[in-house]
Every structure is written in C-alpha cells, then in structure tokens.
Amino acid sequence: MLELIIVSTLNGVLYGMLLFLMASGLTLIFSMMGVLNFAHASFYMLGAFFGYQLSRALGFWPALLIAPVLVGAIGAAVERYGLRTVHRHGHVAELLFTFGLAFVIEEVVQMLWGRLPVDYRVPPTLDFTAFTIFSTNYPAYKLFELLTAIAIFAVLLLVLTRTRAGLIIQAALTHPDMVAMLGHNVPRVFMLAFGVGTGLAAVAGVIAGPALVTQSNMAGLLGPILFVVVVVGGLGSLAGAFAASLLIGLVQTFAVAMNVSLADLLALFGARLAPDAFFAEITQVTVAQIAPIMPYLLLVLILIFRPRGLFGTRET
C-alpha cells in the first residue's frame, strides 16, 4: 500500500508537471490575448514528432534544444500571419482558427508519419533504473522528465518576476495600451509570448514522447485535458493552472491504480445487484476504468460548485 502511494505520487507529480509545462503557456497566451489556443496540444505533438525525427538524425540532446526552437518559430509565425489577421473578426473567430489549425496539424502529422506510433525511445544514456522503492524500479528517464519540468518552471518564474522582459510581459497582460504608450512593441511581445508558449509545449512533447506513445492522436487525447486544467485552475491564473495540473495529475494516476467498483462498495453494505439489472453495468465499472474521464467529471463538479475555478478571480 505504501509502495503504491509513493510510486503513484511520484508519477502523479510528474504527469502534473508535464501538464503544467503546457498549461503555463496556454494560460499566458490566454491572459495576454484572450485566445484559448485550441492547437496548444498540437504544438506539444509537433514537439514530440520533431524530437523523434531530430533525435534519429542528431541524437536526443540536440533534439531537446532544436525541436522546441523550431516549434516555437512555427508558433510565432502562426501568431504573426494567422491569428493577427483573424483578430479583427473577434474571439470566436480566433478560437475557430486555432481549432482549424489543430485539425490541420493532426492531418499533416498523419500524412507525414502515419497513424501508427513511431519508435521514439528513451535515450540510452538515461535508460537505467534510478532507484528501487520496495519492489518498484523507478526509471531514471522519469526522474529526468520531472527535473526538467521543475527546472523550466523555476526559470519561467524567475524570468516573469525578476527580469525586465518579464515585467513588460506582466504589464502587457493587464495594460497593453499603456505598455504600448511607453514605447514597447506590444504585438511583438504577443508574438514572442506565443512563440515561447508553444515552445514550452514542444519541450513537454520532446521529453514526454519517449515515455508515452508518440502517435498522431496524442494531441487529441491531451488537448481537452489541458483545457480542463485551465478552466479548473481558473482562466488566466498561473497559480491556478499549477494547482490544477498537479491535482489532475495525481487524481488520474491514483485512479488508474484503484481497482474498486461501485458494486464492491455496495457489497460492503451487503447490497447486491442482479448482474442483468439495467444499471448493473455502471456499478461494475472500476475506478481504474473511469480514470480517463476523471478530469471531465472534475470539470463538471468545479463548474457547478465553484464556477470561477480554484484560483480564478473572475466568473468565466
């Protein structure tokens, strides 16, 4: 039991930190431009596939540097030549634009790499057991993922709060007109922020690709969860995104490990349903089976009981 708790906590924090790598970029972009970037998870997928292709040609470490830069450049170009044109049609058009972009990126990835998973492996230098708790061998690559995510988080925090560029970004979040008045090029700040945000998503893709499955549906699987994180945390709140990322990471990891169903719970109280009763199937579903829908259940609960999200300041 203790083993389960420790390992699940580690995995949950790791998954949560990966979610936060993406959610932070998404939140920054949202608070700046008011655009929820539907294609954010698509940039994570591009990161994974670029990482795969580059690591085959150059090795993992160069890929870890180059792939995010490439994806970030694509992101900046999308902002400069796509979103900025659509902006005059309003927020719904912007959201639809990013939706179309997600659709196109998925098709392009499918076109270039096919529908089947690609063989993106953990680099040999990191392919060993870091430590053993009880009987579980904890792989070093997971530890590396966790440390990378934490390091990026720390750097991001420092840049945002302690540097001049960070101050300008923070000011542009709330008072874009004033910042422009002071002589800063706000559209360029937006473009750079979009580029950095998508680049961060790509970092998550490069390091998560070998551990998870690198496949053309990975954006479609992760994208909605990312939105859940942002809404649960409170739209536009970085601290909220952090808390919600960890929460969802932990909830999903623990749920997978739990093999309990409603029927077991009922049996504790001596109640038993006939197996062919109408709702019997629902009671037999285990917690592990509903792990994929946990984030969405959480979303619905949050919306009913706390519509502004955990740390949100405004009714969304």
Partner 1 sequence: MSAVAQTGVRRTGRGGALAGVWVVAAALFAVLPYVFSSGTGLTTMSLMAIMIIFALSYNMLLGQTGMLSFGHAVYYGLGGFLVVHAMNGITAAHLPVPLAVLPLVGGVAGLVFGVIFGSVSTRRGGTAFAMISLGLGELVGASALILRDFFGGEDGITTNRTKLLHVAGFNFGPQLQVYYLIAFWCLVCMMAMYALTRTPFGRICNAVRDNPERAAFIGYNTQSVRFIAFCLAGLFAGIAGGLTAINFEIMNAANVGAAPSGIVLLMTYIGGVGNFAGPVIGAVLITFLQVMLSDATEIWQLYLGILFIVMVSFAPGGIAGLIAMHAPVWRARLLHRLVPAYALALALGLVTFAGAALALEMAYRLSAGSEGGTAFRFLHVPLDAASAAPWSLAVLLAVPGFVAFRRVLPIVGNAWAATLAEARRGRGR
CA 140 to each of CA 107, 151, 160, 270: distance values in angstroms, whole numbers, following the listed order: 34, 16, 30, 46
Residue 82 sits in the site that holds partner 1 (CB under 8 A): yes
Give dist(CA 298, CA 232) in Å, integer: 8
Q: How far is the CB of 293 from partner 1 (least distance, A)?
A: 4
> Which residues, including other chains, have CB under 8 Å from residue 16's CB and lie 6 or more apart?
245, 246, 247, 248, 249, 250
Residue 256 sits in the site that holds partner 1 (CB under 8 A): no
Q: How far is the CB of 135 from partner 1 (least distance, A)?
A: 30
> What are the tokens at 273?
């349903």
Query: Can you tell me which of 73, 85, 137, 272 binds partner 1, judged by CB under 8 A?
Result: 85
Nearest alpha carbon to residue 102 among 226, 242, 249, 233: 226
Adjacent-strand bridge partners of 132: 137
Query: Can you tell me which of 92, 132, 135, 274 binds partner 1, judged by CB under 8 A?
Result: 92
Residues in the chain: 316
Query: Can you say whether the dihedral through the CA atoms of 225, 153, 169, 50 is positive or negative?
Result: negative
Residue 275 sits in the site that holds partner 1 (CB under 8 A): no
Q: How far is the CB of 132 from partner 1 (least distance, A)?
A: 34
Q: Which of residues 16-55 bind partner 1 (CB under 8 A)?
A: 36
Q: How far is the CB of 3 from partner 1 (least distance, A)?
A: 28
Helices (H), the chain: 2-33, 40-57, 60-77, 84-86, 91-113, 140-162, 164-174, 176-181, 186-208, 218-233, 238-257, 262-268, 280-284, 294-305
Q: Which is nearer to partner 1, 187 or 220 (CB)?
A: 220
Q: What angle separates helix 186-208 from helix 40-57, to the nearest 10 degrees?
A: 60
* The residue type at 113: W
Contact region for partner 1 (CB under 8 A) — 98-106, 137-145, 177-185, 207-215? Answer: 98-106
Note the Cα 123 to chain centre separation in Å.
23
Residue 133 sits in the site that holds partner 1 (CB under 8 A): no
Q: Around Cβ 147, how many Cβ atoms within 10 Å?
A: 12
Residue 112 sits in the site that holds partner 1 (CB under 8 A): yes
Q: Around Cβ 142, how many Cβ atoms within 10 Å?
A: 18
Residue 277 sits in the site that holds partner 1 (CB under 8 A): no
Contact region for partner 1 (CB under 8 A) — 66-74, 178-186, 219-227, 265-273? Answer: 219-227
Q: Which is nearer to partner 1, 268 or 304 (CB)?
A: 304
DSSP structure class, residue 89: G
Residue 117 sits in the site that holds partner 1 (CB under 8 A): no
Residue 107 sits in the site that holds partner 1 (CB under 8 A): yes
Residue 113 sits in the site that holds partner 1 (CB under 8 A): yes
237 contacts 26 by C-beta, under 8 angstroms: no
Query: Can you tell me which of 23, 101, 244, 246 binds partner 1, judged by CB under 8 A?
Result: 101
DSSP structure class, residue 132: E
Residue 287 sits in the site that holds partner 1 (CB under 8 A): no
Residue 281 sits in the site that holds partner 1 (CB under 8 A): yes
Q: What does the binding site for partner 1 look like in residue numbers (CB under 8 A)?
A: 36, 82, 85-86, 89, 91-93, 95-97, 99-101, 103-104, 107-108, 110-115, 118, 220, 224, 227-228, 230-231, 235, 281-282, 285, 289-290, 292-293, 295-297, 299-300, 303-304, 307, 315-316
